[in-house]
A and B are shown apart, each in its own frame.
Chain A
Amino acid sequence: MSSPSGTRRVRDAPGLYAPAVPDAQPPLFCKWLSFLPSFSPAWQTALAGALVLALTISAGWFVIYRPLRAVDDDQSLLKSSALKEVESAETAYQRAIDKLAMQAKPQLENPATPLLANYHEKLLVLDSAIADLRAQAGMNPSNAQLRYQLLAMYQEKQHTLEEILEAKP
């Protein structure tokens, strides 16, 4: 690798400093840094200043954000991957519920027994809870409590619809 021209000029200038042993091996870290281009002193000063600024910003950033820590193993808020899984499960429940609701519709519209009337009432309560939870989850989507409760309500509704179909006379 040839020396940069600027370096050569300084080295060749007489009387500036005693010439170094021409064939001496440069120290390892000098070699290591030699890949960097040479800059004029003004640029070097500017670069150093920029680095000091970057270090100051880094330190400041850590100081400013120190009171707020990253949420690690806490389960209060779902991570994006978990949220996707929950949303996928919700979709699956909704599909299953839609199918079951279609099958149970005749019995629920005209409940023939007190038990079916009670199931109908239970479904209304569950629908109200699902609507409430969905509204809250829309505003607070990663809140684990909301999503798990919503899943539980879907599960309960599916189970109730299955019971209605089993209770078919």
Chain B
Amino acid sequence: MICNQPTFRRELLRLAAVAGALSAMLLFMAKPLHAATPAQDQVSRDFHQTVTLGAGQSVRLEHKFGSVTLHGESGRDVRISATIRAEASSHEEAESFAQKIKIEVHQTGEGVRIKTIYPEEEKKWFHSGKHSSWSVSYDIGIPSDAPITVRNSFGSVEVSGVHGAADVENGYGTVTVRDAGAGRWNNAFGSIELAGAAGNVSVSDNNGSVQVSDVKGALEVRNRFGSITARSIQGAATITGGNGAVALTDAASANITTSFGSVEARNVRGDLSVRDNNGNIEISGVGGSADVTDSFGNVGFSDVHGRVNCTTNNGRVKGSSVTGGSVTIRDSFGNVELDTISGALDAETSNGRIAVRDARGSVTLKSSFGAIEASNVPKGIRAVTGNGGISLTSAEILLPRPVSEVL
């Protein structure tokens, strides 16, 4: 024995005292370790539930604060995982609130409805000035053919591999879609990015950018104050913009309307219609006809295989390689430059110069206060100007004679 017995007993008790003191210290230190800061404490709680979805049944999610991720899987299970996070001025308060946030999973004949329930009393209590916060994020695996309905307010929505019909509305946050089916995707103040849809797609946004690609069906896009970019649309594209740029590449046909943004359309296999007010328009590679109207922007077109009808007020018009149909240009205060026109050409501007080269059909050019230049116009030209020179090279002049002069 190293110590005598009473001493040993005392020392053991002292050892126990030290151990106890250490454990008490741990007890008090353990709590701050969980705290984000000395003032606030965050906790999180996980939720998991799996339910089986019948054939033809849908999944509906009603949510408000937090991100939503939905992904298609094989099988008939709906696997719901959620993380509930809460913050409050003490761990107990945060924990209490986290425990009161409920996730309601209802199975009906129509399918599965998932809803986040926030405790009303706690919300009122929060109004009284307590510094508390919360968020719930979802990760849900669903049968890939299941139709989905998602309502979210403040958070991102991400959907991938879900080929059932989709109806998604979000408020403030990004919407990201990969490998989807037909669907309607709405957002208020956040971007929408969709890559790959097997059916018709409708996208609507208020103040965020919209990017859509690889749509097997028709596409309809509305955006009020954000840009729109669309490419590889197998069906018709109908785009309504407002105050953002519009860019479209590869579509069966297109109808584009916007107010204050530029429009760029390339490789439209069928007809193209563009209406803009205050933006430049640039189109190329149109298999059908092109109908373009603008007010205060420049218009450029090239490689159009059908008829071109272009009206603008205060912008330059520059076009080339119209191989199939006639070209009609109406401008008010801009120059007109045209090159390689196969069909009949009729161009008129009030206060600008008109320059034409290689126009193979009949040509009629009229300018009130600008010069007219034309070269290589084999089928003849009718050129009228009020107050400018006319310069013709390799052209047959047709009556009536020009008002001012012919050089």
Residues of A within 8 A of B (CB): 7, 10, 17, 20, 26-27, 29-30, 33, 36, 38-39, 44, 47-48, 50-52, 54-55, 57-58, 61-62, 65, 67-71, 74, 76-81, 114-115, 118-119, 122, 125-126, 129, 133, 136, 139-146, 149, 152-153, 156
Q: For the complex, what is the distance from the CA of A15 to the CA of B363, rounded to whole Å?
A: 136
Known: A17-B4, A55-B23, A139-B126. A145 touches B42 (CB 8 A): no
B-side interface size class: 35 or more
Nearest CB in chain B: distance from A166 CB, A:
13
Candidates B26, B132, B207; contact of A156 at CB < 8 Å: B207
Among residues of A, the one whose C-beta sits closest to the C-beta of B156 is: A145
Inter-chain contacts of A118 with B (CB < 8 A): 242-243, 259-260
Candidates B7, B27, B66, B135; contact of A30 at CB < 8 Å: B7
**Is B369 among interface residues, defined by CB-CB distance under 8 A?**
no
Nearest CB in chain B: distance from A73 CB, A:
11
Nearest CB in chain B: distance from A5 CB, A:
14
**Is B56 among interface residues, defined by CB-CB distance under 8 A?**
no
Nearest CB in chain A: distance from B288 CB, A:
30
Nearest CB in chain A: distance from B312 CB, A:
15
B133 touches A54 (CB 8 A): no
Among residues of B, the one whose C-beta sits closest to the C-beta of A146 is: B154
Among residues of A, the one whose C-beta sits closest to the C-beta of B153 is: A136
**Is B134 among interface residues, defined by CB-CB distance under 8 A?**
yes
Most chain A CB inside 10 Å of its own CB: which residue of B30, B35, B133 = B133
Q: How many inter-chain residue pairs (CB < 8 Å) link A and B?
A: 174
B173 touches A145 (CB 8 A): yes
Inter-chain contacts of B206 with A (CB < 8 A): 125
Nearest CB in chain A: distance from B116 CB, A:
13
Among residues of A, the one whose C-beta sits closest to the C-beta of B39 is: A80
Nearest CB in chain B: distance from A113 CB, A:
8
A149 touches B36 (CB 8 A): no
B131 touches A58 (CB 8 A): no
Candidates A61, A77, A141, A145; contact of B172 at CB < 8 Å: A145
Nearest CB in chain A: distance from B156 CB, A:
7
Among residues of B, the one whose C-beta sits closest to the C-beta of A55 is: B23
Inter-chain contacts of B119 with A (CB < 8 A): none
11 more contacts with CB within 8 A, not counting A115-B278, A122-B243, are: A30-B3, A48-B16, A51-B23, A55-B23, A74-B85, A76-B83, A76-B135, A142-B131, A145-B65, A145-B173, A146-B65
Nearest CB in chain A: distance from B241 CB, A:
12
A77 touches B173 (CB 8 A): no
Q: For the complex, what is the distance from the CA of A115 to the CA of B207, rounded to whole Å?
A: 16
Among residues of B, the one whose C-beta sits closest to the C-beta of A58 is: B27
B18 touches A140 (CB 8 A): no
Nearest CB in chain B: distance from A83 CB, A:
9
Inter-chain contacts of A36 with B (CB < 8 A): 14, 17-18
B residues 1-59 in Cβ contact with A at 8 Å? 2-7, 9-11, 13-21, 23-24, 26-27, 30, 33-37, 39-40, 42-45
